[in-house]
Amino acid sequence: MKGMVAGVSVQIGQKVAAGEPLVILEAMKMEHIVAAERGGIVKRVLVRANAVVEADEPLLVLDAAHVDAADETEHSASLDEIRPDLAEVSERHAFGLDENRPEAVAKRRKTGQRTARENVADLVDEGTFVEYGALVIAAQRQRRTKEDLIARTPADGMIAGIGRVNGELFGNGGTQTVVTSYDYTVLAGTQGTMNHLKKDRMFEIAEQQGLPVVLFSEGGGGRPGDTDYAIIAGLDCRAFQYFAELSGKVPLVGVNSGRCFAGNAALLGCCDVVIATKASNIGMGGPAMIEGGGLGVFAPEDVGPSESQYRNGVIDVLVEDDVEAVAVAKRYLGYFQGDLAQWEHADQRLLRSAVPENRLRVYDVRNVIETLFDRESVLELRAGFGAGMITALARIEGRPLGVIANNPRHLGGAIDGEASDKAADFMKLCSTCGIPLVFLCDTPGFMVGPEAEETALVKRAARLFTTGASLAVPFCTVVLRKGYGLGAQSMAGGSFKAPVFTISWPTGEFGGMGLEGAVRLGFRKELESIEDPKARDKMFQQMVELAYQRGKAINMAEHFEIDAVIDPAETRRWILSAITGW
């Protein structure tokens, strides 16, 4: 390489070690160091400063005399040495660490909450998190000093990065996951100019690489105090669009603790699952926005309390605190990470007595679910909403699947508007995320009557059929007891022939509508013609019994309207046959 000698760092007779700089050459405005290939003593120097040298031109001569090992290492840099440039970077990063923000940490302890960094550290596997945008600060340089912004607005109130989750559980290094967490200790977790840009960046990466996203959403919504950029309304930001576009492409997990209003709540609502602590308040507008709209003055605790948002279906899983919230988030993600190698299950013979012999006696279908699927594998979603339907993620032999079950303890298992919405939403989630479905059917049909129709039941019930018809995953139906009318068909993708199989336990009973109603409607004249009330009731019971015998599971199987009547203890084997190979 042709270049100019910028400097010679040795003299004749000088002892040099291997790797020690000898000459500095300058070429194309860049400095190139010529170092000793081995230790020795400088015998001759053939160049001087500012001289131009050609490629392969000798620069100096070394005498290959022995150099002591101590001399060889004399000029080597210490591995622990921190240069000034690295020290500057480390100092800047340190401003955002919890150990250097004792006042902020103390405030979190007063409310019984963890810091944002503690939650992120608990979520991701140790040593795997890489943080994006850690050195940004709030866009408020026109109103505050840079030193103040560095100290008080680290990362502009948002911790964002990528880390692995559940590596130990699956033994495969875990799943790369995008994590974005608002930091309530920085400007109340509001959405600033810079953290909007960070979200854009992270959501784009999530889409490009197909990574799940976990969002810790606590914060007060939009921030009006940023001054560094010419923004009028800021309605052209892309974060909400980018995040919404991820729906149906990757799992989106929302975790909230404390207050979550406006834009923060909008992002939380886009998530497939919302996990929230009991101390949460979630609303599309906070107290300031409500008061500004002339709608009254409210404390933050009055807006969207957790018990209300759990009851109306906004919150899917309600937990005690941050620790439990992160644990549930990791557990939820696990269903989308694959099979578990180790699993246990209860004695399946317990299922033989799970449904009472008395066909009018209610039972707890949750006990059926816990017994049927792997131990400690069931995670129920939206338990506070749509009591007539149970939706849960579970496993059989370590394989993840979704469960939708009628709840005979509520309206006898009849499907109302809330139950329809709940089941349809869950069907869509499982279908888009590749999770097979198991329907546990015990329903007299859809809820009827003027009051039910006031809830727009026609449209809501129809969602079960349109969603079921578009399922892109294997699904199967097990009739535990009642399988009547359109409600039962909706628990089987629209038809008993739509699932991979439709089977029944011995307690199964079927009909185009409920037996009692069918008898009263179909034999009204005959019953009205009997004047004696006792004789009329006796005839009615006999007709119901005949209808029951006609609609018994065994008779249905004889006519091949269902695929089989099975020993309940064999249910797991049937389900495995439907999902094996998927």
Residue 362 has a CB neighbour count (10 Å cut-off) of: 14
DSSP 139: S
Q: What does the pLDDT read at residue 72? A: 47
Residue 473 has a CB neighbour count (10 Å cut-off) of: 17
- Give the separation between CA 176 and CA 305, rounded to whole angstroms: 33
Strand (E) or helix (H) holding 226: none
- Give the separation between CA 146 and CA 220, rounded to whole angstroms: 24
Q: What does the pLDDT read at residue 67? A: 58
The domains of the chain are located at: 3-72, 96-334, 348-508+552-579
Q: Give Cα separations from 378 to 318, 330, 335, 395 (angstroms).
A: 15, 14, 10, 7
- Between the two ends of the chain, the Cα-to-Cα distance in Å is 61
What CATH number matches the domain at 96-334, 3.40.1280.10, 3.90.226.10, 1.10.8.60, 2.60.40.420? 3.90.226.10
If one looks up domain 3-72 in CATH, what number appears?
2.40.50.100
Shortest CA distance to 281 belongs to which of 188, 189, 214, 218? 218
Condensed to tens digits (0 to 9), the pLDDT of residues 56-101 reads 788 778 887 655 554 444 445 578 888 899 999 999 999 999 999 9
Q: Fold for domain 348-508+552-579?
A: 2-enoyl-CoA Hydratase; Chain A, domain 1 (3.90.226)
Q: What does the pLDDT read at residue 543? A: 74
Tokens of 491: 């628990």
Condensed to tens digits (0 to 9), the pLDDT of residues 90-133 reads 999 999 999 999 999 999 999 999 999 999 999 999 999 999 99
* SS (HEC) of 496-545: CCCCCCEEECCCCEEECCCHHHHHHHHCHHHHHCCCCHHHHHHHHHHHHH
- Give the separation between CA 117 and CA 420, rounded to whole angstroms: 39
pLDDT, tens digit only, all 582 positions of the chain:
677 777 777 888 788 888 888 888 787 778 888 888 788 888 888 788 888 888 778 877 888 765 555 444 444 557 888 889 999 999 999 999 999 999 999 999 999 999 999 999 999 999 999 999 999 999 999 999 999 999 999 999 999 999 999 999 998 889 999 999 999 999 999 999 999 999 999 999 999 999 999 999 999 998 888 888 877 777 888 899 999 999 999 999 999 999 999 999 999 999 999 999 999 999 999 888 888 889 999 999 999 999 999 999 999 999 999 999 999 999 999 999 999 999 999 999 999 999 999 988 999 999 999 999 999 999 999 999 999 999 999 999 999 999 999 999 999 999 999 999 999 999 999 999 999 999 999 999 999 999 999 999 999 999 999 999 999 999 999 999 999 999 999 999 999 999 999 999 999 999 877 767 666 766 777 777 787 788 878 777 777 777 777 889 999 999 999 999 999 999 999 999 999 888
Q: What does the pLDDT read at residue 68? A: 58
340-354 burial: b if 16+ Cβ within 10 Å, else e: beebeeeebeebeeb
Residue 235 has a CB neighbour count (10 Å cut-off) of: 7
96-334 matches 3-72 in CATH topology: no
Q: What does the pLDDT read at residue 136? A: 96
Residues whose CB is less than 8 angstroms from the CB of residue 51 and which lie 6 or more positions away in sequence, other chains included: 4, 5
Side-chain-facing half-sphere of 573: CA atoms under 13 Å? 6
Q: What does the pLDDT read at residue 31? A: 81
Tokens of 117: 């960094």
